[in-house]
Structure 1
Amino acid sequence: MKKIFQYLFLLTGGSLIFSSCNDFLDREPLDSVTPDNFFFTENDLAAYAVKHYNFTTHSGFNAGIWKNDNATDNQAATDYDNKWIPGQWKVKEAFDNPASNDPWHFAAIREANYFLETVVPRFEKGEIEGTEANIKHYIGEMYFLRAKNYLSKLEAFGDFPIIKTTLPDEAEPLTAASKREPRYKVARFILEDLDRAIGLLTNNISGGKNRITKNAALLLKSRAALLEASWLTYHRGTALVPGGPGWPGKAEDLEGFNIDTEIAFFLKEAKAAAKEVIGNAALVQNTAKDCMDETVKTDDDKYKMSNPYFAQFSANSLEGYSEILLWRSYNLLEYKVVHSAPAYIRFGGNTGFTRQFVESFLCRDGKPIYATSQYKGDESLLDVRKNRDLRLQLFMMTPSETLSPIIMNGAPDLLPDVPQLLEINEKRCVTGYQVRKGLSDNWYRDGNTAIEGCPVYRVAEAYLNYIEADCIEHNGTSIGSEAAGYWGDLRERAGLPRDYTVTVDNTDLARELDWAVYSGGKQVSPLLYNIRRERRCELVAEGLRMMDLKRWRALDKVQHFVIEGVNLWESDLKDKYMKDGKNLLVQEGTEGQTSNVSSYANSGKYLCPYRAVKTNNLMYDAGYSWCEAHYLNPIAITHFRITASNPNDLSTSIIYQNPGWPTVANEGPLGIK
């Protein structure tokens, strides 16, 4: 069992059991594990399953998961993502490392299929040694992992082949199996696998919440169902929905399809799964909610590691936090499985909250910043946090706060008195608004030695899923009492009034900078928008923002959008970067000097991280812009060649390209110059 526990520290997966190639459906021989010598004990099943965990967690020399909302309107890195400049994201001929880079890759699905078609019959015949409950649990984990991998395909491509078995190494069956199925069928298949998993999994397994549990499966089911319900709702009438104008699939694949029936089904499933997991796992307490001061003093222990709401993101062990459904453990002394997230966060970590995100947080009276006298403005970073939603106060740093209780060489461990805008890229606080989520009391200056646990799933998402699904069911105009109660629980924990109507009644959509004000280029209701606001503020830096924006179709109106950070030129910051009587901030356009920040004259008072240098910078003038094709990934050309009856004529392939994308390598979306 020690080997299995070691794998638990490798939750993000590491190397897979099989080698991999990229022909057809990854048809490499199963040469590392064979039915003759494996899958006969529960330990075999446990080890195989955990080896295939591929969750996104902290690893390597970076800020870990706390950077995963970079390249959205929530957070920004030093380098921009070319996907925001139409024409720069291009179709690939093939990926250099398909196993890790090509989202069309089938290896993980094939390996799950291999497990299930081998193990399930053996279990039914009583041929596997071990406790029945444990054997069932590990089978449930593989159903979960197959569903999770399919969910990633659904997010990336929409329509996708549904493969339930391993296939012979023969061209004809492999090609036939490559046929894409309409996305709603893929989503239903995901839910079927998760239902199987839920029926087999327990919440009490050796390894605790470091292993997949029934609660984790319920949450993933809720997420998957809401994804499909909202996608069909907001993308209907486009080529990105089966049967929509320009959809590239075949009409015979849509027999019996009714989009309203599908939306209703997925909404119902999303709510039911969310409600069940909410009943199983309680929210943790935020002890800062009783603070009546303007600003929570976040370096006080009672608001930091003694506050369960803050500590559940940064404690060494997350096992005891009821809200955490799945987490990754680290171990320095025995297994040398570590990360460096907090070491990077304390400097800036090549990320930073955007002004657009920071301004979406409400004031403590439940009103937006433009509708209340409680907002103190942004002429100092401390002012920005005063009287605000506690999630902003807890998870955004202010200069000079205590980072850890360690005294080193007679000096306290403090954040510098200004944001590190001029640090090297990997350590820079990109926007001036510094992420604080995940920072514990442990002392880190450098090195890859952090052992703080990494959250993967938590029950708060289920609350958000239920509320949103309920509002969509009510056409965006109202919610039921149960949803209102769940929303009140989240708001109260964040130091806001339970009554959401205080916020809705004071919301002016025209004054909101949030892209999620829109779906398909049209404003949503103030109620639905504030449910989206709640989701945005509760899931600070947890990597779900881009998925949300895509499924809401919230990006249609994003054109030449300039990402902004702190008020740099009309605040107390502008004169704090002095050294030897010289200001280290060099504005863009300064003659004879290499600039390092945007200029007041060209970009205004707010720091614009992508307007510090104009030369060879496409983002300087373009800003963030979107095109419809980018809602789904293009399929690499190699997949058309190997599934075509005539490799020189890609139109003979059994698969089709996603709407708006060509079947020509190194080309951007059609119609984009």
Structure 2
Amino acid sequence: MKKSLLKYYTGVVFAVLLLSTSCNELDLAPTNKFTDLTYWTSEAKASAVLNMAYSQMFSAGYFFANERLSDNLYEGRGNTNEKIITSGQADAALGRFADEWRNCYEGIKTCHIFLENIDRVPNMDENLKTRMKAEARFIRASLFFRLASHYGDVPLFDHDLTLEEANTLPRSPKSEVIDFVRKELNEVVNILPTKQNYAAADNGRITKAAVMTLLARTYLYENDWVNVASISEKIMNGDFGHYELFPDYAGLFLPQNEYNSEVILDMGYVLTLRTWSEFYDAIPLSVGGRINAFAPTQELVDDYVMRNGKGIKEAGSGYNEEDPYINRDPRFAATIVHHGYKWEKGDKTISTIYIKPGSSKAAGASNLDEYAGPGQNSTATGYYLRKYFDQTAPAGMEAGLNLILMRYADILLMYAEAKNELGQMNEDIWNKTIRPIRQRAGFTDATALNYPGSNLQNIIRRERRCELAIEGLRLFDIRRWKTIETVMNGYPHGAKFAADNTQYIQLDMRKFNKDRDYLFAVPQSQRDINKNLTQNPGY
């Protein structure tokens, strides 16, 4: 499908105007409030400002960086921000803490500029103006929710600030921030269209279902199961537009299937105009990768069940440690590249990926992808990534593939988890949620599809991990489950390629301080400017 360029052009005139105003370090307000009457003269110029807000809502960098803060991925090279955090060595001067804070407030500022100036546009259609205001309010709410999720208490405000205000504003309690987010979402959902009521040229715009999915997440992250179940059920019933599982799991993440029936909200990218390149350092070197900077862990690999639905350690699973990749959950091959993987290139040719040490020589192939120990160009874990590989990307992996932020399978998983935690899970709910997700994945064995009746919390959590792997959500799941205290403490592992292929690779130790690490530090650079900003415990 040809993509509209709607969201990707932010307007040269607006960019120049923004560059002409200087911002304080907080990025909460320009030094001279943006009130240029000559700018707000057309719908197109107003759209350019809103488009900028869309682009600031999230980024590919944070999408994958959040996975690297979880037990799904391991960073094998360099002393990156995420590796410093996961090793327990982060302090308030860390770049990730400062960047995320700054980027969120930059986006919030853009939303305020838009909301406070769009009424100046002459002869603008009132319905369009009202809808665009609702979009901006959603983006602002999503940014405040992101800030609260990472930092807890944060400065909360609903208008553009003066420099003095920005330099003195204290942190508001997290509960007040979340209340503001929910109030905004409950108001704008009545304004925004459903996905089906948008024209094709507006693909990617915020919909009623996107609003309600974000609202559900605000309750999910607090384990408020009653509200999670209620909102998810309404989305499933079609109250906010029609969604259904896309029939092909691997195809869900391919460029030819963007904006499909499952996608509720994504980040739009277009080749050459707006791209992301994180996978340049995540795919096998033999098929175009540069180095391997991050790779799946053995712990993630082990959570993929067998085709009969049994975990690899369960009796009767059929798992063979010496041939570990056969008869596994079909989503495994759609997500993770293992030794012997058949890599399909964009031209439909197949390349075998040799990762086990010594295997390529016997096959007469390149050894570029072989595990060679820590700190090497090849994988540090014995695995590479496949999910989100853009076959249409040029050399260098400047991908134009959209990244999905919300999809219908997550709604089903949230509903199943909520009903189970409420003690209300039964065969009927299983058949509306986990069963269709597994059927779509390619499971056919009755033991994998039928209602198990017991051990449901573990099954649902594992299902969530494998269905949504490498989609930026795992960090928030292990935080709310409190399992982060266990899974991010100790040594993660890679494939059985150490000690002449007799032992599992032991990777660098991770440390998680339960009294500190649930929250990011308030950036020291911000506290140096604003003495009213307090610090989170332990920093």
Range of TM-score over shorter length: 0.7 to 0.9
Per the alignment, residue 521 of structure 1 pairs with none
- Tell me by how many angstroms 1:367 deviates: 1.6
Of 170, 192, 209, 2:183 maps to: 192
Matched, 1:607 2:505: yes
Aligned amino acid, residue 541 of structure 1: I
Of 252, 255, 274, 1:315 maps to: 255
Match of 2:261, SS state, is coil
Match of 2:187, SS state, is helix
Q: Can you list the C-alpha shifts for 1:488-530, whole angstroms capped at 9, x where unaligned?
A: 221222344587775564xxxxxxxxxxxxxxxxxxxx32232
Per the alignment, residue 5 of structure 1 pairs with 5
Matched, 1:285 2:283: no
TM-score by length of 2: 0.80
- Tell me by how many angstroms 1:421 deviates: 2.3
Per the alignment, residue 306 of structure 1 pairs with none
CA distance in 1, matches of 2:377, 2:199: 39
Aligned amino acid, residue 157 of structure 2: I
CA distance in 2, matches of 1:82, 1:443: 31
Match of 2:294, SS state, is coil
Of 431, 443, 454, 2:381 maps to: 431
Q: Can you list the C-alpha shifts for 1:634-672, whole angstroms capped at 9, x where unaligned?
A: 22345445444xxxxxxxx4x4322x22xxxxxxx4xxx
CA distance in 1, matches of 2:325, 2:24: 50
Is 1:56–1:456's contact at 8 Å kept on the other side of the alignment? no
Is 2:148–2:174's contact at 8 Å kept on the other side of the alignment? yes
Matched, 1:111 2:120: no
Is 2:76–2:294's contact at 8 Å kept on the other side of the alignment? yes
Q: 1:214 to 1:165 in 2, by over 3 A?
A: same
Please show how residues 227-242 of structure 1 align to structure 2 within 5 Å.
227=221, 229-230=222-223
Matched, 1:362 2:288: no
CA distance in 2, matches of 1:386, 1:133: 55
Please show how residues 563-642 of structure 1 align to structure 2 within 5 Å.
563-569=492-498, 574=501, 605-610=503-508, 619=509, 623-640=510-527, 642=529
Is 2:92–2:522's contact at 8 Å kept on the other side of the alignment? yes
CA distance in 2, matches of 1:458, 1:166: 33
Per the alignment, residue 155 of structure 1 pairs with 149
Q: 1:631 to 1:450 in 2, by over 3 A?
A: closer
Per the alignment, residue 47 of structure 1 pairs with 48
Q: Can you list the C-alpha shifts for 1:426-462, whole angstroms capped at 9, x where unaligned?
A: 9632311222112355485x33444334333322222
Per the alignment, residue 219 of structure 2 pairs with 225
Match of 1:373, SS state, is coil
Gaps of 5+ in 2: 356-368
Is 1:26–1:105's contact at 8 Å kept on the other side of the alignment? no
Q: Can you list the C-alpha shifts for 1:108-137, whole angstroms capped at 9, x where unaligned?
A: 223322322333xx38xxx64344443232
Per the alignment, residue 358 of structure 2 pairs with none
Of 404, 408, 420, 2:345 maps to: 404
Please show how residues 362-511 of structure 1 align to structure 2 within 5 Å.
362-379=305-322, 383-398=323-338, 399=340, 401-404=342-345, 406=347, 414-418=351-355, 419-422=369-372, 428-442=378-392, 446-474=395-423, 478=425, 481-482=428-429, 485-496=432-443, 497=446, 503=452, 505=454
Larger Rg: 1
Per the alignment, residue 615 of structure 1 pairs with none
Per the alignment, residue 460 of structure 2 pairs with 531
Please show how residues 270-349 of structure 1 align to structure 2 within 5 Å.
272=234, 276=238, 280-286=242-248, 309-316=249-256, 318-319=258-259, 321-332=260-271, 335-340=272-277, 343-344=280-281, 345-347=283-285, 349=292
Of 21, 25, 28, 1:26 maps to: 28
- Tell me by how many angstroms 1:224 deviates: 2.2
- Tell me by how many angstroms 1:564 deviates: 0.7
CA distance in 2, matches of 1:36, 1:657: 40
Match of 2:400, SS state, is coil
- Tell me by how many angstroms 1:389 deviates: 1.5
Q: Can you list the C-alpha shifts for 1:345-400, whole angstroms capped at 9, x where unaligned?
A: 24364222211111111222222112243433232xxx323222111132222425
Q: 1:560 to 1:66 in 2, by over 3 A?
A: closer
Is 1:355–1:564's contact at 8 Å kept on the other side of the alignment? yes
- Tell me by how many angstroms 1:36 deviates: 1.6
Per the alignment, residue 534 of structure 2 pairs with 656
CA distance in 1, matches of 2:329, 2:335: 10
- Tell me by how many angstroms 1:37 deviates: 2.5
CA distance in 2, matches of 1:365, 1:624: 35
- Tell me by how many angstroms 1:56 deviates: 4.1
Q: 1:441 to 1:166 in 2, by over 3 A?
A: closer
Q: 1:103 to 1:48 in 2, by over 3 A?
A: closer
CA distance in 2, matches of 1:442, 1:425: 30
CA distance in 2, matches of 1:642, 1:331: 38
- Tell me by how many angstroms 1:49 deviates: 0.9
Match of 1:352, SS state, is strand
Is 1:219–1:459's contact at 8 Å kept on the other side of the alignment? no
Is 1:66–1:438's contact at 8 Å kept on the other side of the alignment? no
Q: 1:184 to 1:482 in 2, by over 3 A?
A: farther
- Tell me by how many angstroms 1:465 deviates: 2.0
Q: 1:413 to 1:390 in 2, by over 3 A?
A: closer
Aligned amino acid, residue 633 of structure 1: F
Q: 1:639 to 1:350 in 2, by over 3 A?
A: closer
Is 2:66–2:472's contact at 8 Å kept on the other side of the alignment? yes
TM-score by length of 1: 0.65
Q: Can you list the C-alpha shifts for 1:72-123, whole angstroms capped at 9, x where unaligned?
A: 211112147122334x21123x96995x35459633223322322333xx38
CA distance in 1, matches of 2:425, 2:16: 48
- Tell me by how many angstroms 1:268 deviates: 4.2
Q: 1:350 to 1:426 in 2, by over 3 A?
A: farther
CA distance in 1, matches of 2:17, 2:188: 22
Aligned amino acid, residue 455 of structure 1: I
Gaps of 5+ in 1: 234-262, 287-308, 506-525, 575-599, 611-618, 645-652, 662-668
Match of 1:556, SS state, is helix
CA distance in 1, matches of 2:399, 2:492: 31
Per the alignment, residue 205 of structure 2 pairs with 211
CA distance in 1, matches of 2:273, 2:241: 37
Q: Can you list the C-alpha shifts for 1:533-588, whole angstroms capped at 9, x where unaligned?
A: 11111101111111111122222345752111111158xx84xxxxxxxxxxxxxx
Greater shift, 397-406 or 544-553, is seen at 397-406
Is 2:381–2:505's contact at 8 Å kept on the other side of the alignment? yes
Matched, 1:556 2:485: yes
Aligned amino acid, residue 83 of structure 1: I
- Tell me by how many angstroms 1:42 deviates: 2.9
Give the number of aligned pairs. 503
Match of 1:369, SS state, is coil
Q: 1:630 to 1:277 in 2, by over 3 A?
A: farther
Is 1:467–1:484's contact at 8 Å kept on the other side of the alignment? no
Match of 1:37, SS state, is coil
Is 1:58–1:339's contact at 8 Å kept on the other side of the alignment? yes
Q: Can you list the C-alpha shifts for 1:42-77, whole angstroms capped at 9, x where unaligned?
A: 323321111112244547xxxx95665224211112
Aligned amino acid, residue 314 of structure 1: L
Is 2:493–2:507's contact at 8 Å kept on the other side of the alignment? yes
Q: Can you list the C-alpha shifts for 1:401-438, whole angstroms capped at 9, x where unaligned?
A: 1422649xxxx551432243249969632311222112
